[in-house]
Amino acid sequence: MDYQLLLLTIGVSFILAVIASPLLIPLLRRLKFGQQVRDDGPQSHLKKAGTPTMGGVVIILAFTLTFLKFSVVNTDFYVLLVATLGFGLIGFLDDYIKIVFRRSLGLTARQKLIGQLLFAAIMCILLIQNGHSTAISIPGTSLSFDWGGFFYYPFIVIMMLAISNAVNFTDGLDGLLSGVSAIAFAAFALVAMQATSLSAAVCAAAMIGAVLGFLVFNAHPAKVFMGDTGSLGIGGAIGAIAIVTKTELLFIIIGGVFVIEMLSVVLQVVSFKTRGKRIFKMSPIHHHFELSGWSEWRVVITFWFVGIILAGIGLYLNKGL
């Protein structure tokens, strides 16, 4: 597979995001598309109120233009595009309702779920039409098991819902999700090259450039936030890449930071409902470290470092790399 093509994809997507961001930020300010900050969160976040959000539009735009330009058009191409744009659209509607109608709640949980189920179902239809393998490999071993379509495709739907929401939970600090997702996409770009899936490799490369270009303006102190438009779009893309490359379970390792973030929320809720006690000072877990006295930048760098380690372990376990 052509490494130069992937580097070109990253470069073009990065430049598009860097150019588009300073054009979008003033527009978001004029439209008063500002971030709403939770009162029960870290006090240091109160000063972020009003910072332009919905910047994920830049990520989706840079990704889409680059992906359409450099990817081959096949079934994998459509699966990746549906996942990224579909989940990104759900995030966009959620952000739009929150901001325009000045509501703390955008789409209801049921509306989000219906939207996610719809696009996950479309992905499944495309995969079935292409004769997608229903076998699942266990990372680091030669073992695999085939559930058959009756169990595999519901698993895929649940996987997409879990990944998109896990990624969404990770978006809470300046530059946190941008950096962690860039690391995960870099690992999956190598996985896709090993799997000889050009569409998945180009998808990952386009996302690397888009999130890094956005990171230029999203790093602490952030000039813009991506909102659900970006986080759900990123989640859709990374989940689809894992599915297309047949490394569904490898996501648990490469995307370990996302998994940890989601588990912290689940454990917090379960503990509070069953014992009346909280495990963490606040969930997702990145807020726990903030409230424990860590600076925002220290939390972000630490999570990036953990992401790099987990990506390395994932690549090591992925045979042939």
pTM score of the predicted model: 0.92
At 110-162, the pLDDT tens digits run: 999 999 999 999 999 999 998 999 999 999 888 888 988 889 999 999 999 99
Question: How many angstroms separate the Cα of 199 from the Cα of each of 42, 67, 144, 184, 204?
Answer: 41, 8, 24, 17, 9
pLDDT of residue 321: 47
Q: At what angle do helices 56-70 and 75-100 cross, to 10 degrees?
A: 160
Instruction: State residue 104's pLDDT score.
Output: 63
pLDDT of 50 reads: 65
Per the annotation, does 228 bind a ligand? yes
Spell out, as residue ranges, where the chain has pLDDT lower than 50. Answer: 46, 321
Report the 3 state secondary structure along 15-76. HHHHHHHHHHHHHHHHCCCECCCCCCCCHHHHHHCCCECCCHHHHHHHHHHHHHHHCCCCHH
pLDDT the model gives residue 38:
52
